């Protein structure tokens, strides 16, 4: 299961598949024909320093998702409690900005639901109930265009309903499949500057997630359906656990995140610097002791390898 330092890159297919396949043992789920319509990067970090962490002091793990499409990058921060009996969701936020436009959403759960009870085997089942509160604001420049509050009563039934072989475009995995069937009852309110929060209406709907988990890796694929649309996500790169670099007094690296260039300072000789994708592909190699040009990289999380006189150091760098 994910821990601090784990990074995953995924591809998302929004049109190819209509069904999650059969339940039961000895199944073969063949999703090798998946086509990537967009991708994202998930980085599991310590909550300290992640925007919004002060709202969730009980969290010991942050899930930072960067979603890339033609409109730009959407950042989603989820705050989790990872303990022996499972992974609980405290809440999180999402935001997107572009010239003149911004979107912000903040949500929390009470109580925090255990969305991945541990341990689990074929046939394991459980149920969670929680209340979620979400606030959303949309601004154009300094002007507030829309603000909503949604109170959600959520009941989720969790069943490990299948086992055996999951096939994605990157390979085959021995996996267990977990089905999460959630019923939402949402009450929506809209902000009126004159009258405050005004009730809009109530809606009840269902959402089902099928997640395939492989030992030592974690989830390798997710299929989500709301009975109208189907989205399939699959891991496209290896999951790595990149140790956070322990910067000594004689070394500094800045800025991180960076946009065009990452600067290096060291009292010793830096012989070479390299940037790798999370699939292990070498993207940049520079024989320099001062900086790395990352302007050509797509926004996301990368692995930097730094060669000095007596050691090789690996660390994460974020390209904005």
Nearest CA-CA partner of 11 in 174, 299, 237: 237
DSSP string, 89-130: EEEEEEEEEETTEEEEEEEEEESPPEEEESS--TT-EEEEEE
Average pLDDT over residues 111-120: 95
According to DSSP, the residues that pair with 153 across neighbouring strands are 131, 185
Average pLDDT over residues 252-277: 80
Task: Confirm if 186 and 202 have CB atoms less than 8 A apart.
Answer: yes
> pLDDT grade, residue 310 (50/70/90)?
low
Mean pLDDT of the chain: 88
Q: How much is the pTM? A: 0.77
- What confidence tens digit (pLDDT) does each residue in 10-27 have? 899 999 999 999 999 999
* Identity of the highest mean pLDDT range in 46-55, 152-161, 169-178: 152-161
Q: Which residue has the higher pLDDT, 307 or 238?
A: 307
In the chain, % of residues over pLDDT 90: 55
Report the pLDDT value the prediction gives residue 205, as an integer from 0 to 100: 96
Coil vs helix vs strand at 54: helix
Q: In whole angstroms, how far apart are CA 159 and each of 121, 156, 234?
A: 10, 10, 20
Asked if residue 246 has pLDDT above 80, the reply is no
Nearest CA-CA partner of 126 in 90, 178, 83, 50: 178
* Residue 122, C-beta contacts closer than 8 angstroms, at least 6 positions apart: 25, 160, 162, 163, 176
Q: Which residue has the higher pLDDT, 199 or 245?
A: 199
- Report how far residue 130's alpha carbon sits from residue 250's, in angstroms, rounded to the nearest whole number: 49
- Structural domains in the chain, CATH included, are 6-241 (2.40.360), 251-319 (2.60.40.10)
Full 3-state SS string of 137-152: EEEECCEEEEEEEEEE
């Amino acid at each position: 299961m994910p821990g601090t330092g784990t990074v995953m890159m995924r591809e998302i297919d929004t049109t190819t598949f209509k069904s999650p396949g059969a339940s039961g043992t000895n199944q073969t789920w063949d999703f090798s024909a998946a086509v990537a319509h967009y991708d994202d990067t998930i980085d599991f970090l310590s909550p300290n320093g992640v925007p919004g962490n002060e709202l969730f002091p009980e969290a010991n793990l942050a899930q930072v998702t960067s979603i890339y499409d033609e409109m730009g990058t959407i950042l989603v921060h989820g705050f989790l409690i990872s303990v022996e009996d499972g992974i609980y969701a405290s809440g999180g936020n999402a935001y997107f900005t572009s010239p003149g436009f911004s979107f912000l959403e903040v949500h929390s759960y009470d109580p925090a639901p255990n969305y991945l009870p541990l341990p689990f085997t074929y046939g394991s089942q459980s149920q969670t109930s929680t209340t979620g509160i979400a606030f959303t604001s949309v601004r154009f420049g300094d002007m507030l265009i829309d603000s909503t509050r949604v109170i959600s009563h959520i009941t989720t039934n969790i069943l490990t309903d299948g086992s055996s072989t999951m096939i994605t475009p990157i390979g085959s995995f021995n996996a267990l499949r977990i089905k999460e069937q959630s019923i939402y009852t949402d009450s929506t309110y809209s902000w009126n500057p004159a009258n405050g929060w005004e009730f809009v209406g109530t809606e009840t709907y269902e959402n089902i997630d099928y997640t395939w988990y492989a030992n030592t890796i974690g989830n390798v694929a997710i299929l989500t359906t709301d009975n109208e649309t189907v989205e399939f996500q699959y891991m496209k790169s290896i999951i790595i656990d990149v140790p956070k670099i322990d910067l000594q007094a004689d070394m500094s690296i800045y800025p991180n995140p960076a946009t065009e260039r990452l600067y290096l300072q060291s009292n010793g000789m830096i012989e070479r610097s390299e940037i790798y994708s999370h699939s292990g592909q070498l993207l940049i190699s520079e024989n320099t002791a001062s900086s790395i040009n990352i302007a050509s990289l797509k926004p996301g999380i990368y692995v930097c390898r730094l060669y000095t006189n007596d050691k090789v150091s690996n660390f994460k760098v974020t390209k904005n």
